Amino acid sequence: MTQLLTRPTRTLATRKTTTVDISGMRTADKPDDILVTYSLGSCVGLTLFDPVAGVGGMIHCMLPLSKIDPEKAKQKPYMFVDTGVAAMLGELYAMGAKRQNLIAKVAGAGSPLGREETFRIGQRNYTILRKFLWKNNILIDKEDVGGARARTLYLYMADGRTTVKSEGKEVEL
C-alpha cells in the first residue's frame, strides 16, 4: 500500500517593518522584524546586531554632542550621538546582546549642502560615533558615509543584513 505524504501548509510570515524616526531608536528581537530609517543626510544612522542573541537595533542621530543642550538631551537622548548610542547599547545589553558579538554598520553623515557646509554636522556626527564605538571596543564593520546624497537604512533581523538605498539603488553593507 502506497502512503501519500503531505507537506504541512506553510504560510509566509508577515514581516513587520518598524520606522526609526529622526532622533529615534528602536530595538528588535524577532526574525521577521525589519528596522528602517529614512532621510539620512547629515544625520548618522547606526545598526548594531548580535547574531548570537538575535537582537539588534537602529538609531538615527541628528547632532554629535549633547552638551550643546543638556535639557534637550534628557528629553530626546537619541537626538545626540553620545547619549543616544549609550542608551541604545544599554537596551541591547538588557536584551542579551554581548559587546564582542555586535556588528556595527553606519550610513549617512553626509554634507547635503555641499562640501563647503559651514558646520560640517555630518562629519562631526561620524567622528563622534567612531570615537564612541572605539571607546566601547566596537569596530565599524561596514559603512556608507559622506557625500551629498540622502540615504535610507534597513536592518533585517532574520540575518542581520543591512542595506542602504539611495538614488534608486540598494546596496548591502
Residues designated as active site = 43
Characterise 167 by phi-psi region: left (phi > 0), alpha (psi -120 to 50), beta (else): left
Residues 6+ apart with CB under 8 A from 139: 104, 133
Half-sphere exposure of 142 toward its Cβ, with a 13 Å CA cutoff?
A: 12
Q: What is the DSSP letter of 7?
A: P
